[in-house]
Each structure stands twice: as C-alpha cells, then as structure tokens.
C-alpha cells in the first residue's frame, strides 16, 4: 500500500498539465504573432482534460482510469490530426483552385490583349493602305494634269505655227505648198537647163 502511494506521489505529469501548457503556449503565440489565417481560425472549446484528474485511493482503479484517459487522449489526438489533415487538404485545394482561377484570368487577359493588338494592327494596316491609295490617286491626278498641260501646250504651239504659216501664205503672192516645193524646184531646174541648151544651139 505504501508502494502504491509512493508511485502515485511520483507519477509522471498528467496529460492535462501538458495540454494546459500546450494551450497556454498556443494562446500566447497566437497573441504575440497574430496572422490572418489565425484570426480567421475557430478554436475548439476548452479541453475537458484540464483539472479532470481526481486521484483515487485504489491504485488499480487509478491505473485503469489513467489508462482510459490515455486511450481517450490518443483517440482524440488522432481525430484532431485527421481533421487537421483534412483542413490542410481543403486549404491546398482552395489555393490550387484560386491559382487556377488566377492563371485562367491571366490567360484570358493575355488573349484579350493579343486580340486588341491584332485589331490595332489591322486598323493601322487599313489606314496605311488607304493613305497609300490616296497617295497613288494624287500622283495619278498630278500626272494626268501634267500630261493635259503638255498636250494643251503642244496644241497651242501647233496652232501658233499654223497661224504663222497662214500669215506668210497670205502675205506671199505665190504660195507653194511644202509638199509641192520639191517638184516646183525640180521643174525650175529642168526648165533652166533647157533654156541654156537652146541658147547654145542658136
């Protein structure tokens, strides 16, 4: 009996004390360095192990009660770990979903930006072709105006030449056409030669 009392006095620190220290340390850490995730986290209610140990006079009953508490503690820790793993997995899935949504938004924004660039290039190409066509039309118009100017100028020169020839023809008593000028000259030469030959005979 004295040995059992000695063992009870020298028993290891109960898990309630460990939980109390863990809860206190966790609360202190949360207060000292709060984060957005911890501020949004919903903490569990106070653990029932705290101050739940009631020493028994019977060592066997105390050992059985302690074993029960340990098994219950292990079970609850496993359940807590399972919930923690599930929560971490849900956070990972949510983060992955947000990353995918962000990538999709970036992809859509890039596609819209590329489409806008293509539309801008098409509009600039249309404007450039219109400007080139307008420039070609302007050159064609200037060329046509120059050709018309030179045609009118040549026509005026020709008209002035005709007027001058007409004036000379009117002023001359014997007007010989240019086409008959050679024939007239040949005839004059032939007649002159005949007259000279006739004079030599006489």
Note the Cα 160 to chain centre separation in Å.
70
Give the range of the structural domain holding residue 92, as residue numbers without chain letter. Answer: 56-172
Burial readout 95-111 (b: 16 or more C-beta within 10 A, e: otherwise): eeeeeeeeeeeeeeeee
pLDDT in tens, 3-25: 444 444 444 444 444 445 444 44
Q: 């046509």: which residue's tokens?
A: 144
Is pTM, for the whole model, over 0.75?
Answer: no
Distance CA 141, CA 157 (A): 24
Q: Per residue, what are the HEC states of the chain? A: CHHHHHHHHCCCCCHHHHHHHHHHHHHHHHHHCCCHHHHHCCCCCCCCCCCCCCCCCCHHHHHHHHHHHHHHHHHHHHHHHHHHHHHHHHHHHHHHHHHHHHHHHHHHHHHHHHHHHHHHHHHHHHHHHHHHHHHHHHHHHHHHHHHHHHHHHHHHHHHHHHHHHHHHHHHCCCCCCHHHHHHHHHHHHHHHHHHHHHHHHC
pLDDT in tens, 131-150: 999 999 999 999 999 999 99
Asked if 55 contacts 8 with a C-beta cutoff of 8 angstroms, the reply is: yes
pLDDT of residue 34: 52
Quick check: 198 pLDDT over 60? no
pLDDT band at 129 (very low <50, low <70, confident <90, very high): very high
62 with 123, same domain? yes
Quick check: 47 pLDDT over 60? yes
64 with 144, same domain? yes
| Closest CA relative to residue 19, chosen from 58, 60, 53, 63 | 53
33 with 64, same domain? no
Instruction: Report residue 107: phi and psi, to 5°.
Output: -65, -45
Task: State the average pLDDT over residues 108-132.
Answer: 93
pLDDT in tens, 153-190: 998 898 888 888 877 777 665 555 666 666 766 776 77
26 with 62, same domain? no
pLDDT in tens, 50-101: 666 676 777 888 788 888 888 988 998 999 999 999 999 999 999 999 999 9
Domain count for the chain: 2
pLDDT of residue 10: 46
Last residue of a domain, one of 54, 71, 86: 54
160 with 73, same domain? yes
Q: 């030449």: which residue's tokens?
A: 161
**Residue 202 maps to a domain:** no
104 with 49, same domain? no
């Amino acid at each position: 009996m004295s040995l059992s009392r000695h063992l009870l006095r020298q028993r290891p620190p109960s898990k309630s004390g460990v939980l109390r220290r863990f809860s206190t340390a966790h609360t202190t850490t949360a207060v000292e360095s709060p984060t957005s995730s911890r501020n949004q986290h919903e903490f569990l209610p106070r653990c029932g192990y705290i101050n739940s140990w009631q020493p028994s006079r019977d060592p066997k009953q105390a050992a059985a009660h302690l074993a029960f508490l340990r098994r219950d503690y292990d079970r609850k820790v496993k359940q807590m770990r399972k919930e923690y793993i599930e929560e971490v997995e849900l956070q990972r899935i949510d983060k992955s979903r947000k990353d995918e949504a962000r990538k999709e938004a970036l992809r859509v924004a890039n596609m819209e930006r590329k489409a806008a660039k293509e539309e801008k290039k098409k509009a600039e190409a249309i404007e450039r072709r219109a400007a080139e066509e307008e420039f070609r039309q302007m050159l064609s118009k200037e060329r046509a105006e120059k050709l018309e100017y030179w045609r009118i100028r040549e026509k005026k020169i020709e008209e002035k030449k005709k007027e001058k020839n007409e004036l000379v023809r009117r002023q001359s008593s014997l007007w010989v056409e240019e086409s008959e000028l050679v024939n007239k000259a040949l005839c004059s030469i032939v007649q002159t030669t005949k007259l000279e030959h006739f004079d030599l005979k006489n």
